Every structure is written in C-alpha cells, then in structure tokens.
Amino acid sequence: MKFTLAKPRYFLKVTNFLFPLALVLGALCFAAGLYSALITSPPDYQQGDAMRIMYIHVPASWMALFCYGALAVFSLFVLVWRHPFAEILAISVTPIGALFTVLSLVTGSLWGKPMWGAYWVWDARLTSVLVLLFLYGGYWALYKAYAHSTQGIRAASLLAIIGVINLPIIKGSVDWWNTLHQPASLTKFGSPSIHSSMLLPLGLMTAAYGFYFLVLFIIRARTELHKRKLLVQEGLS
C-alpha cells in the first residue's frame, strides 16, 4: 500500500507554507488569549482569580490527549505498514505530548492547592493523567532501549497502541468515579456550562496551543528528517 502524500518531500513542501503561518497565528492567539484571560474575563464567583489558571491548564490537558492520539495513529502505521515516515512523525510528537502532560499536571497541582488544600491528591483524573506521562516516558524508553532502531520503534509502537485505553479513562474519570476534580464544562458544545466571557479566552488559548504544537512538531520532524538524511550521506561517503 502506497501513501503518496505521506512522503518527506510533500511534508517539507507543505510545512514550508504552514510553518510561518502557524508561527504568526500562534503569536496572535497567545497575545489575544492571555489578554482576555488575565484582563477582560471576570473572576469565577466561587474560585475567584485562581480560576484563571484554567486558561493554561485545560488547553494543555486537551493537547496532551491529542498528541497521544496522534502518536497512536502514527504507531499503527509503523506496525501495520512499516512506514518509515510514520516513525519520524511518532518520535517527533512524543516529547511534545510529554511536555503538554507535564504542563497539565503542574498547573493542575497549582490549581488544586487553593481549591483542595493540597498540591496533589490521588484523584482519578490526576492519576490517569500521570499514567499518560508514564506512557510517553515508556514509549521513549523502549524506543531508545534497543540497539537496533527497528526493534525499538516496534516495541514502542505496540505500547503506544495499548496505551490508548487510558484516553477514555482520563475523559470519563470525573463521571465514573467520585473525584475531587470538577466535571467537564464543555460536554455540550451547543450549550456549554461556561459563560461566553470565559469561553472566548479559553478558545483563543486552545487555538494558541494548537498552533504552538504545530510549530514544534514541524521543527522536530524536519530536524529528524535532515538528521537521517545526513546519516545516510555519511554512510555513503
């Protein structure tokens, strides 16, 4: 099976256009999002100004899940179709997903201190996100553990696919178990239980995180492509 569009030359061509666009749009969204989150949006009637960390925490959590979903898809292509470019994309997205997961855990802990009286509790949502971080770390450890990269990427890809089971656990943890974590406020997109004055900065920050991910992903993938090209050239010389 051939994936004509999933080739490095097409990726480089498309990202030459996407990279500056994502950079500019990401900067604009960050500026507008931070301004509306910190200046124009009102404090929560229960949590006060401590609620503002939501604008950092929630998009980071969403992006952590998105990155792992992308990693699982790339890993499926590695295992089933042995696609070499999928390997590059998988190892490019992994550190970014781990970064978002760390940011989610740190900001969640900072949010939890004034709300729960402790930086950390073994809450179902917090624990399942911590497992997500371990899955990212386990993927990278397996990838680097083998002397032959082919064995490493296959073992890591298998772990990534198995780990997908944790994604619905993270999503449903606040509904399935009695947790301290507040339930989702955007379950119904038609009538979310969050006011528009808070929904706008949250949307802007989510878009900013998305563009930030795209910028990092393009940089990492292009770097890995050039590195492998250089290794091939050195091998031939």
Of 185 and 222, the one with more pLDDT: 222
Q: Which residues contact 47 (CB under 8 A, 6 or more apart)?
A: 114, 115
**For residue 172, what pLDDT is reported?**
86
pLDDT of residue 237: 45
pLDDT one-digit tens code per residue, 70-127 = 999 999 999 998 888 999 999 999 999 999 999 999 999 998 888 788 888 888 889 9
pLDDT confidence band for 235 (50 / 70 / 90): low
Report the predicted TM-score, pTM, of the whole model to 2 decimal places. 0.90
Q: Is the pLDDT of residue 232 over 70?
A: no
Mean pLDDT, rounded, of the chain: 88
**Which residue carries 């124009």 as its tokens?**
40
How far, in whole angstroms, is CA 76 from its chain's centroid?
Answer: 18
Q: Which two tokens stand for residue 196?
A: 């528009």
Contact 180, 116 (CB under 8 A): yes
Between the alpha carbon of residue 39 and those of residues 19, 35, 55, 139, the distances in Å are 30, 5, 12, 40
Q: What confidence score (pLDDT) does residue 189 get?
A: 44
